[in-house]
Amino acid sequence: DVKVTQSSRYLVKRTGEKVFLECVQDMDHENMFWYRQDPGLGLRLIYFSYDVKMKEKGDIPEGYSVSREKKERFSLILESASTNQTSMYLCASSADRRSYGYTFGSGTRLTVV
């Protein structure tokens, strides 16, 4: 089975801190994605990547950056965490541009205080 592993299930950070959310997949998938999910707002795409060192902005990239130095790892960075970034963050991967759907990680619930 494809596994997508997010490093933390729950995270509490202070306003202004730099926050790293890590995501690792073990099936050689080319595509990786970061979403945030908030009640009533559905899934919103933050950033995605089709290949190592490549990144594309999603619908809500402001306040975030990403890094993909290795194919299996896609990191989401909150440069200076703010309370409005309190959310559930979901990482996903898919095989390639032909897709066949996503495999999601278990999610990181981030609280910024």
Partner 1 sequence: ELKVEQNPLFLSMQEGKNYTIYCNYSTTSDRLYWYRQDPGKSLESLFVLLSNGAVKQEGRLMASLDTKARLSTLHITAAVHDLSATYFCAVDILGAGKSTFGDGTTLTVKP
Q: Which residues bind partner 1 (CB under 8 A)?
A: 30-31, 33, 42-43, 45, 48, 50, 90, 92, 94, 96-107
Q: Residue 17 and residue 86: Cα distance in Å, rounded? A: 13
Q: Which is nearer to partner 1, 51 or 79 (CB)?
A: 51
Tokens in use for 17? Answer: 């801190």
Specify burial of residue 35 (Cβ count, 10 A radius: 0-12, 13-18, 19+). buried
**Whole-number minimum distance, CB 100 to partner 1, in Å?**
6
Q: Which is nearer to partner 1, 61 or 107 (CB)?
A: 107
